[in-house]
Amino acid sequence: MPEELSIANIQQPFLEYRANYKEPITLLCFDKRQGENITTLHKALAPWQLTFENISWNQAAKNLGEAQLTIAVPSQFASIHVGISNVTATVLKPDWSRAPVLISLFQTGLDALRTSIGQDFQTQQITLGLHLMPGTKPFRETIKQFVNAKALGSDDGAFFGVSVYHADHAFVIDSSAPFPGGVFVKVVRNFAPEKKFEEMAAIVHKDEVSVLSLLGLKLE
């Protein structure tokens, strides 16, 4: 009989989305089209109470790689960062119960950005990270089943880590630094440039469920 899964005690979760452009958008940062870019994004994200106080430009950038337009959405603990060669979107404390709002927010912002820069993305990637607090069963014993501790000469190892890499996704399970006895989990998935955020989120959700099940855990 399969072991019953326990509800995961998740701490400090974060999500990062990254898309690379086909071509750098340097012109949008150094002429009037920079203002047009800001106006387009400001109008598109207005439903999320975006104000000009939530938009900033890194004027202290030391090089083009650091040049960045940042749009913060405090109500969702989220932000969108428009760089020269890529755009990233981050969420602190992501919660799947808020997924519909976040999906709509990011898809709207990404669509507006595509229109503004006049090109599609070349690649897309989502990274989900989280720490898990230990439950009644030590994580060490659960993870040890995935490694050959004897072959490593480490039967008495304090902890073990696991990483698996596929062509389009990967996951890592390792010791958590801020939570003694806990684990850190990172899930990374690459997507085709035409994939919509709703589809990507659904796939990452399945990835998270799959990795948690390896640890005998499940989402609420």
Work out the average pLDDT over 109-137. 93
Q: Whole domain around residue 99: which residue ranges?
A: 23-119
Do both 6 and 31 map to the same domain?
Answer: no
Work out the average pLDDT over 140-158. 88
- 153 φ, ψ to 5°? 65, 30
As a whole number, the mean pLDDT across the chain is: 91
Provide the pLDDT for residue 27.
Answer: 63
Do both 113 and 133 map to the same domain?
Answer: no
Do both 57 and 73 map to the same domain?
Answer: yes
Provide the pLDDT for residue 68.
Answer: 87
Sort strands 162-165 and 121-132 into parallel, antiparallel or unpaired: unpaired
Q: What is the pLDDT of residues 37-49, one digit of tens each?
A: 888 899 999 999 8
Work out the average pLDDT over 122-130. 98
Min mean pLDDT across 105-114, 123-132, 145-154 is at 145-154
Q: Of 54, 85, 119, which residue is a domain's last?
A: 119
Provide the pLDDT for residue 57.
Answer: 84
Confidence at 155, pLDDT banded by 50, 70, 90: confident
pLDDT above 90 coverage of the chain, percent: 67
- Is residue 52 scored above 70 in pLDDT? yes
Min mean pLDDT across 31-35, 43-47, 93-97, 147-151 is at 31-35
The dihedral formed by the CA atoms of 184, 132, 13 and 216, expressed in degrees to the nearest 10: 100
Do both 115 and 52 map to the same domain?
Answer: yes
Provide the pLDDT for residue 37.
Answer: 80
Instruction: Answer yes or no: is 51 within a domain.
Output: yes
Provide the pLDDT for residue 212.
Answer: 96
Instruction: Answer yes or no: is 163 within a domain.
Output: yes
Work out the average pLDDT over 78-106. 94
Provide the pLDDT for residue 98.
Answer: 92
- Is residue 105 scored above 50 in pLDDT? yes
Instruction: Answer yes or no: is 73 within a domain.
Output: yes
Q: What is the DSSP string of the chain?
A: -PPPPEEP-EEEEEEEEEEEESS--THHHHSTHHHHHHHHHHHHTGGGT--GGGEEE-TT-SSGGG-EEEEEEGGGTEEEEEESSEEEEEEES--GGGHHHHHHHHHHHHHHHHHHHTS-EEEEEEEEEEEE---SS-HHHHHHTTS-TTTTT-TT-S---EEEE-SSEEEEEEE-SSSTT-EEEEEEEEE-TT--HHHHHHHHHHHHHHHHHHTTEE--
Q: Of 91, 119, 147, which residue is a domain's last?
A: 119
Do both 106 and 180 map to the same domain?
Answer: no
Instruction: Answer yes or no: is 220 within a domain.
Output: no
Confidence at 20, pLDDT banded by 50, 70, 90: very high
Confidence at 124, pLDDT banded by 50, 70, 90: very high
**Domain total of the chain:** 2
Work out the average pLDDT over 47-73. 87
